[in-house]
Amino acid sequence: MSQIVVLNAGGQYCHLIARRIRDMGVYTEIKEIDTPWEALAGVRGIIISGGPHSVYAPASPTMDRRLFSLGVPILGICYGHQLLAQVLGGKVTPGEVKEYGLAHLAVQQRETILEGLDACETVWMSHSDVVETPPPAFKVLASTPDCPVAAMANPQARIYGLQFHPEVVHTVSGQQILRNFVFTICRCQSDWDPKQTIPRLLATIREKGERKKVFFLISGGVDSTVAFTLCVKALGGDRVVGLYVDTGFMRQGETEMLQETFRRLGILDSVHILDASAEFIAALHGVYEPEEKRVRIGRKFLEVQERSLQQIYQPGEEWLVGQGTIYPDTIESGGSAHAAVIKTHHNRVDIVQELMQQGKILEPLVEFYKDEVREIGLQLGLPPAIVWRHPFPGPGLAIRCLCSREEAPLRFPADLSSLCQTYGMEGALAPLKTVGVQGDYRSYTDLVLISGQGSLEKLEDVSTDITNTIPTVNRVAYLVQARQGKRLRDMRVIRAEVTRARLDLLRQADRMVNEFLQEHDWQSRIWQCPVVLLPLRIEVGESIALRPVSSLDGMTAEYAKLPGPLVIQLAHRLLTLPGIDAVFYDVTNKPPATIEWE
C-alpha cells in the first residue's frame, strides 16, 4: 500500500507531486480524483492535485466526500485547494487578476505545513479562480497581493490548502512544505529507493518484451537514446532494431553527428538510417496550425515506421514499437481523465493511441522526467555529450518554423499600448498564434511584441503584467535589434508555410546561436534555447526569436536572463545572415507560455 496517494484532477503537475515525494524516499501512487473512499483506506495522507476546471462549474471533477471520514491528513493544491474550500463551506470565485508564474507570498502563520518558511517567500502560481472565503474552522496562513487565501488550514482536522504549487522548483521552499506534510503531519517512513530504478526498468522491459522483438524509433536525443539502450540491455541487440528517420526537420549536421554517436556506443549496426525528408516536408504543404503540424508529423512517422518494419519482418515474429516518450509528453497531450490537451506530441497521435490499446507500444521512460532520464543515462554509462544535450522536440524544426495563412499588419490595441507606456515601452499584437498553458488549460493566442529600453530583469515585470492583465495573451517577445534601427510599426506578418528554404535558414540561425552559447559558456548553464523563425518582415526577410530557458524538468521554466551586451552581440551576428530582418527575445515564463512556441 502506498503511504501517500495523489488524487488526479487533471493538473499538469500532478505526476510531479508524486515524483517529488518519491525523491524523499516515500512511495507515492496517483489515482483518479473520483477513487472510492474505501480504496484509500490504510494510506497515511491524501493530496488533491491541480486541474484545468473551475470547482463551481457543472460536472467539474470532485472526490468521494466520504474520504474525510478516513481521518487522514489531506492537502489540496491549486484546484484541490479550491475544491476543499468549496465542499467544506467556503466560497470560490473568479479572480480579478489571473496569476501565472512567480508570485510573492506573505506568510502570516508559520506552523505545521508552512513551518520553517520565511515571512516572504517566492512561489509559483497558475490559476484564475481564488478562494474568497475559507471554510468554517479554517484559518488563512498566507496570501499574495492578488490572492487573499493563498494557504489555509484546519490543523485539528489536519486539512490544508495551497493555491500555489509547492511541487515545482520555482517555489523556493516547496520541498520543505511537502516534507512538512509527508513527515511531520502524515508521519510517513522512508520505504522507496530511487537507486533501484534501472533494475526495475529492465525487469519491466523483459516482462513486456518476452518472446517479442522491438522496433525502436530513435531521434538521437537523450530520451530515445536512453530508452533504446535500456531495451538493448534488457533484451539483447538481436531483438531490438532502431530506426533513425531524417525528417528534414533536423538541426544542421545532426544526422552525421548521430551516426558517429551510435558508432561510439557500439549500436550502429542495430540502427537503420532513412532519409525521408522529402515526404515529411511535403506532408506539411498548406498546413499553418501548430496542432495540425504535430498530428501530420506523428502520422508520417508511423507510416515510415510501418513501411520499414515490413522490410525486415519475418513470418512468425511478434513486434512491439519502442518510443522514448517521457512523462511531460503524456500530460501535455491530455494523458489523464481530466487533463486538458496542451499540444499533441508526435508520439501521442491517434495511431499511437490505437497501438497502445492493442498493447503494442513499449515506452520504458513514460513515468520519468528529463532530469531523471539524464540520471538513468549516466548510470548506464552513456557519454555526457548525449546525456546533457539540450532537449529537441520530436517534430524538430517544423514547430520552430511559424507559419501564417495571410499577410497582415501588426495591431496596437489601446489596452496593450496603455499598459506598455507605464513601463516606457511600445507594445504590438502580431497575428501569429503561439501555444501556452494557463491554469492547466491550453491557450492559443496572438503574440505580443514589445520594444524600448529595459534590462531582461525589468522585462519580466512587463511580461508578467501583460499576461496577467490581458487574458488573451500567453507570450511576450522583446525586440533586441532590427535592420536599420526599424521599429515595430515598420513590421508586418507575411504569408508563409514550412518549406525547405525556410528550414535551411532556420538551421543556419540555430547553429549560429548554439555555437555562440558554447563559445560564451552559456550552453551548459541553461535548460535549452529554441530558435524560432517568425514570418515577420521589415524588408525582404523574416525574424528570429530566441527562447533560452532555465528549468529542472521542463514542466515549469523561467526565461534565462543572459547578459544584455551578450544578447546584443548575438543579435548582431544573426543579422549578418541574409534573410534575417530582426531578432526578438522571448521574455515569458512557463506558465503562461510553453517552452516551445508550437
Query: Per-residue pLDDT tens for 32-77?
Result: 999 999 999 999 999 999 998 999 999 899 999 999 999 999 999 9
Considering only 137-141, 329-333, 473-477, which range has the smallest mean pLDDT?
A: 329-333
Position 353 scores a pLDDT of 61
30 forms beta bridges with 6
pLDDT reading at 337 higher than 60? no
- Of all residues in the chain, the percent with pLDDT exceeding 90 is 66
Arithmetic mean of pLDDT, 356-381: 85
Global confidence as pTM: 0.76
338 counts as catalytic: no
* Single-letter amino acid code for the residue at 168: V
- Angle CA 422–424–426, to nearest 5: 100
Q: How far apart are CA 20 and CA 181, in angstroms?
A: 12
* C-alpha R_g of the chain: 24
Position 447 scores a pLDDT of 97
The total of other beta-carbon atoms located within 10 Å of residue 116's CB is: 11
pLDDT reading at 442 higher than 80? no
> Are the beta carbons of 526 and 549 closer than 8 angstroms?
yes
Q: How far apart are CA 465 and CA 456, in angstroms?
A: 14
Confidence tier at 355 by pLDDT (50, 70, 90): low
Considering only 95-99, 263-267, 551-555, which range has the smallest mean pLDDT?
A: 263-267
Question: Helix (H, G, I), strand (E, B), or coil: what is residue 142?
Answer: strand
DSSP code for 207: H
The active-site residue, picked from 165, 338, 345, 346, is 165
User: Of residues 81 and 58, which shows the higher confidence score?
Assistant: 81
Position 331 scores a pLDDT of 52
Position 345 scores a pLDDT of 42
The active-site residue, picked from 53, 127, 147, 167, is 167
CA distances to 128, 238, 320 from 362, rounded to whole Å, are 38, 17, 6
* Residue 194 neighbours by CB under 8 Å, 6+ apart: 22, 23, 25
User: Of residues 17 and 370, which shows the higher confidence score?
Assistant: 17
pLDDT tens readout for residues 497-514: 999 999 999 999 999 999
Position 161 scores a pLDDT of 98
Domains, the chain, with CATH or none: 4-185 (3.40.50.880), 194-397 (3.40.50.620), 408-586 (3.30.300.10)
The pLDDT mean for the chain works out to: 90
Dihedral of the alpha carbons of 301, 302, 303, 309, in degrees to the nearest 10 = 110
165 counts as catalytic: yes
CA distances to 300, 359, 533 from 544, rounded to whole Å, are 28, 42, 5
Arithmetic mean of pLDDT, 262-280: 86
Q: How far apart are CA 550 and CA 545, in angstroms?
A: 16
Arithmetic mean of pLDDT, 168-195: 92
Considering only 97-101, 221-225, 512-516, 580-584, which range has the smallest mean pLDDT?
A: 97-101
CA distances to 51, 126, 450 from 47, rounded to whole Å, are 13, 18, 40
Arithmetic mean of pLDDT, 172-198: 92
124 forms beta bridges with 102
Confidence tier at 422 by pLDDT (50, 70, 90): very high
* Residue 57 neighbours by CB under 8 Å, 6+ apart: none
Arithmetic mean of pLDDT, 8-25: 89
354 counts as catalytic: no
Considering only 335-344, 379-388, 486-495, which range has the smallest mean pLDDT?
A: 335-344
pLDDT reading at 5 higher than 70? yes
Q: How far apart are CA 400 and CA 1, in angstroms?
A: 45
- Of all residues in the chain, the percent with pLDDT exceeding 70 is 94
Position 334 scores a pLDDT of 43
Position 351 scores a pLDDT of 52
The active-site residue, picked from 15, 53, 78, 188, is 78
